[in-house]
């Protein structure tokens, strides 16, 4: 089968197309004929070697979410999916065989769900991993209707889904945006859109003097810079490792703050989570945004654009 990966770690130029052995559905798994695999910021870590010894045998194949058609169901697999069903799924690139940048991927059956009705494969591929990340963050923060959430990076995939999910949950949403993205954030449902700046925490305090109840840092600004916008007793959710950008333990204790590092595989296979994303997409509560599609041979270009930033909607490889 055709797959996109790297035989040596490095920049986008190391991505290439390989012929690798076909994958097959094992016990408890379904095999998906992949038609679309989303390019996500985390994919660079398998490509550039940041995962080190955790990477499988080369070629190293990235990709954490895909959409396509179920074409094989493993023995002893309990699922309501059937051969021929259109599905979306999450994948684990560090597992045997690699990730979703391939013509076929085999995953545990509970990692896949029916694709939203009426969606294209490219659209459906943008929903599982990014949607689960946003859902997990909101669940960890545990806000109730009427409370206030600030979202950084609201124009991005995770941030955009978070804005829409929080709005659907009755949460008041404040999001920062460039002038070009302000209308997009209003369309997604943000109640207040503030200008993007180096001092976004101060901007948030200007409109919420007592501080917001929680922040979802989709732009990965760092909780140390964002903590000033949160009220005492509030919470911050971050989507990537922070290191020196994290709030000090002393400040967390002094202000009774909670921080949540969001690790999306915690929700891989979580009962009902993918189905809820599908239902919300079908109801129009979630918008699946595709920025641009690429052939497998154009994967290097897709990674260059992803790393350059500024793309609105996900970049998708089509197989």
Distances (CA, A) of 273 to 94, 140, 261, 276: 22, 14, 19, 5
Determine contact, residues 42/31, Cβ cutoff 8 Å. no
Give residue 244's pLDDT. 54
**Residue 247 backbone phi and psi in degrees, to 5:** -70, 145
**Residue 136 backbone phi and psi in degrees, to 5:** -65, -45
Give residue 246's pLDDT. 80
Strand partners, 215: 150, 236
- What is the C-alpha separation between 3 and 1, in angstroms, rounded? 7
Q: How is residue 89 written in tokens? A: 């799924």
Indicate the SS3 state at residue 202.
helix
Indicate the SS3 state at residue 60.
strand
CATH code for the part of the protein at 130-265: 3.40.50.720
Overall fold of domain 2-127+288-318: Quinone Oxidoreductase; Chain A, domain 1 (3.90.180)
Question: In the chain, where are the structural domains located?
Answer: 2-127+288-318, 130-265
Give residue 310's pLDDT. 80
Give residue 242's pLDDT. 63
Give residue 52's pLDDT. 64
Predicted TM-score of the model (pTM): 0.94
End-to-end CA distance of the chain: 11
Write the CB contacts of 169 (distance below 8 Å, at least 6 apart in sequence).
138, 143, 145
State the alpha helices, DSSP H only, in 13-156: 43-48, 121-125, 128-141
| pLDDT of the chain, 319 residues: tens digit per residue | 999 999 999 999 999 999 999 999 999 999 999 999 999 988 998 899 887 666 667 899 999 999 999 999 999 999 999 999 999 999 999 888 789 999 999 999 999 999 999 999 999 999 999 999 999 999 999 999 999 999 999 999 999 999 999 999 999 999 999 999 999 999 999 999 999 888 899 999 999 999 999 999 998 888 888 999 999 999 999 987 665 578 888 888 899 999 999 999 999 999 999 999 999 999 999 999 999 999 999 999 999 999 998 888 999 999 9
Strand partners, 67: 36, 88
């Amino acid at each position: 089968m055709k797959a996109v990966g790297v035989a040596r770690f490095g920049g986008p130029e190391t991505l290439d197309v390989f012929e690798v052995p076909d994958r097959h559905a094992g016990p408890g798994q379904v095999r998906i004929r992949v038609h679309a695999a989303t390019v996500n910021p985390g994919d660079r870590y398998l490509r550039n070697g940041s995962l080190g010894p955790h990477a499988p045998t080369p070629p190293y194949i990235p990709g954490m979410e895909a959409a396509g058609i179920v074409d094989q169901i493993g023995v002893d697999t309990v699922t309501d999916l059937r051969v021929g069903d259109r599905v979306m799924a999450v994948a684990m690139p560090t597992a045997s065989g690699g990730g979703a940048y391939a013509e076929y991927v085999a995953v545990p059956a509970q990692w896949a769900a029916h694709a939203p009705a009426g969606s294209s494969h490219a659209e459906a591929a943008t929903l599982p991993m990014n949607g689960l990340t946003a859902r997990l963050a909101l669940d960890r923060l545990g806000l109730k209707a009427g409370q206030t959430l600030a979202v950084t990076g609201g124009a991005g995939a995770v941030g955009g889904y978070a804005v829409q999910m929080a709005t659907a949950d009755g949460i008041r949403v404040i999001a920062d945006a460039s002038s070009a993205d302000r209308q997009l954030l209003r369309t997604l449902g943000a109640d207040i859109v503030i200008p993007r700046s180096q001092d976004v925490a101060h901007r948030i305090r200007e409109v919420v003097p007592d501080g917001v109840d929680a922040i979802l840092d989709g732009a990965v600004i760092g909780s140390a810079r964002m903590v000033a916008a949160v009220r005492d007793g509030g919470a911050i959710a971050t989507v990537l490792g922070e290191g020196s950008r994290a709030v000090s333990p002393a400040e967390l204790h002094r202000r009774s703050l909670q921080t949540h590092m969001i690790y999306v595989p915690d929700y891989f296979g979580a009962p009902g989570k993918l189905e809820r994303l599908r239902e919300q997409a079908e109801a129009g509560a979630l918008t699946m945004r595709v920025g641009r599609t690429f052939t497998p041979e154009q994967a290097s270009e897709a990674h260059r654009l992803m790393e350059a930033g500024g793309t609105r909607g996900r970049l998708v490889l089509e197989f």
